[in-house]
Amino acid sequence: MKDTAVKPRRLQSYLDGAWRAGTGEGRPVYNAATGQIHALIGTEGLDFKAALEWGRRVGGPALRKHTIHERALMLKAIGLKLMEMKEEFYLENFATGATRKDGWIDIDGGIGTMLTFSSKARLELPNAKLITEGAVERLSRDGSFVAQHVLSPMEGVAVHINAFNFPIWGMLEKIAPSLIAGMPCIVKPASQTAYLTELVVRRMLETGLLPEGALQLVTGSAGDLLDHVSEQDVVTFTGSAGTGRMLKATPAIVQNSVRFTMEADSLNAAVLGADAGPGTPEFDLFVKEVAREMTVKAGQKCTAIRRAIVPSRFEEAVIEALSARLAKTSIGLPDGEGVQMGALVSRKDRDGVREKIREIAADCEIVSGDPENVTLVCGDAGQGAFMAPVLMRARDPMSADAAHGIEAFGPVATVMGYHDAEEAVALARKGRGSLVSSLFTNDRDIAREIVMGLAPYHGRVLIGNRGSAKTSTGHGSPLAPLVHGGPGRAGGGEEMGGIRGVKHFMQRTAVQGTPEMLSAVTGQWVEGAPAQSDGHPFRKSLAELRIGDQVITKSREVTQEDVEHFARFTGDTFYAHMDSDAAKANPFFEDRVAHGYLIASFAAGLFVDPAPGPVLANYGVDNLRFLTPVYFGDSLQVRLTCKAINPRANGDYGEVRWDCRVSNQKDEVVAQYDVLTMVAKTWPQVA
């Protein structure tokens, strides 16, 4: 490799506003492929209590000064800067044993995940410091006592303890939702690959785009860090279940009810459907996916396939096809030409995988690959942590407890035969909770039965078939909009999941009071809160518009001619609009009624100001409900109220949500919905 002569660098931690090295020279961290010392690491003598206090005192307030959109835009800017620097990260990545293709998941995938969170936050969350959740709950008959759930940032520090296999993605997928939520972070990467995390954090801090105190880094042992966490802090952990349980039992975490999310061991499965025999696209996809998951990152992925569950009659064909594919895998130095699989992260890890294989062999036999010997296209098998892919077969899958309970965290998988769908599900469930399982089938009935059986035991289920073969991201790819976690053995946590992930770092609070007080707290108009009518609100730019600005329109009568014209014009001749006898036979109506969409159209005609102005576009309605039938001769009137204002942080316009209440001459509400518009920040706009 190109870095074999490079002098090992002493890694530092970024704590309490400065880069700091622990006392002493530090212990060595080795290049996974060459066995040479790549870095020195250690945190002895560092003050973790002070780091937590600095994050709470400095980082938290600095982040919370900004709105959600402003924090999301910080991450976008950082992500784009990191993309410009990524070649430096790819070079450092080789020391982890990962090929460039493997590194793409970690580097481009990690940065892409952060950018996705930034985009989703700006699209789905308000440009505010507080998030409202759900509808306003009416708690009294007269509407004078109401409530709403709100989400506010936790005022502690998010401590992220990450695994060695994804030193960049593992950090960025956790800090992105934390920072968007307004919570500063302390990142503690696994020591084996901390040099790559440290490099990325250095570059992030050098951009100057994050507020002081928003991001800290621990390279080496976390020491007594968790002894100082408080009720406002959050801890996330990725790693072995044993270590996770130990950390979760830390007295400070237990005593302070600290939120603790764990993503741990997972005996993930891939199931081949009974319809997917040799010669079908699904069979080929299954073989390709299992082989890929065994060899990407040398099988050191939390989502890798450990158990290949196949119909017994296809077992020999699967083993033959998988063995042939794995035999073609070229192994060697991760930056070597044509190398498809690099090294495990360390020789210690490789030796641990070999030991696990020996334990699994109590119930299984090796059918492909030699765990003790490997042929390389380049590199030194005696120095690097290289290993050949090993395929095993369970003699009696239902009783192969070792194969279902021991995770060999490397290029290892076990083939298990099943006789029917019920048995396939039972085998997958013997993993006692997994991050992901996949099913390869083109049969809808098989998909329905097996997915329903897998779902309670898995955080994610992928259905692979010919229809998505070219577009699917595959079994092993966690995606930012989806939860990454699983029940039971997998830790019981849910990372990412889009905006769900952001909310994990916020406190949900039920706020109760009068509509006026609730509106003052949330910044959104609530039915019963004060409103003001001082000119048509559609004539106001965002600079002039206020929550509660309201217009009450004149009335319009709905005639039989209106309804019949609308029916002819639109083609909607549903009997309740056209046939009096049929309408009267309907339990909901007394006679012919107006179309619901005619009501919404007439309402728009009543409240829209037609002249050019600050309202730039109507982009939809939410929660449209038709509540009372409208008969010929009824009159409609609209009360339109500015409900929420959401200015774009980086645009010359914003979204405005209007409460639209349509009532009849008896003041009965016939329709209720939210109108969504784009409104200019100033008017007239300046080019």
Determine if residue 187 is left, alpha or beta; phi over 0 gives left, psi from -120 to 50 gives alpha, anything else beta: beta
Beta-carbon contacts of residue 104 (< 8 Å; ≥ 6 apart): none
Q: Contact 201/15 with Cβ under 8 angstroms?
A: no
In whole angstroms, what is the distance from residue 537 CA to residue 645 CA?
Answer: 12
The DSSP symbol for 57 reads: I
Q: Contact 4/34 with Cβ under 8 angstroms?
A: yes
263 is known as an active-site residue: yes
In whole angstroms, what is the distance from residue 91 CA to residue 522 CA?
Answer: 48
Q: Contact 523/644 with Cβ under 8 angstroms?
A: yes
In whole angstroms, what is the distance from residue 178 CA to residue 160 CA?
Answer: 10
In whole angstroms, what is the distance from residue 350 CA to residue 356 CA?
Answer: 10
Radius of gyration of the chain (CA): 30
From the list 185, 302, 642, 660, the catalytic residue is 302
In whole angstroms, what is the distance from residue 274 CA to residue 419 CA?
Answer: 9
From first CA to last CA, the distance across the chain in angstroms is 55
Relative to beta strand 158-161, strand 234-238 is: parallel
Helix/strand/coil for 537: helix
* Element housing 326 (H / E): helix 315-327
Structure tokens that stand for 398 in this block = 């239902």
In whole angstroms, what is the distance from residue 307 CA to residue 403 CA?
Answer: 8
From the list 173, 198, 263, 315, the catalytic residue is 263
Is the four-CA dihedral 302, 304, 306, 307 of positive or negative sign?
A: positive
Beta-carbon contacts of residue 674 (< 8 Å; ≥ 6 apart): 621, 622, 623, 643, 657, 658, 659, 660
Q: Contact 285/464 with Cβ under 8 angstroms?
A: yes
* Sheet with 146-153, side-by-side order of all strands: 131-138, 146-153, 506-513
Q: Contact 506/60 with Cβ under 8 angstroms?
A: no
Helix/strand/coil for 360: helix
Which residue numbers are catalytic? 263, 302
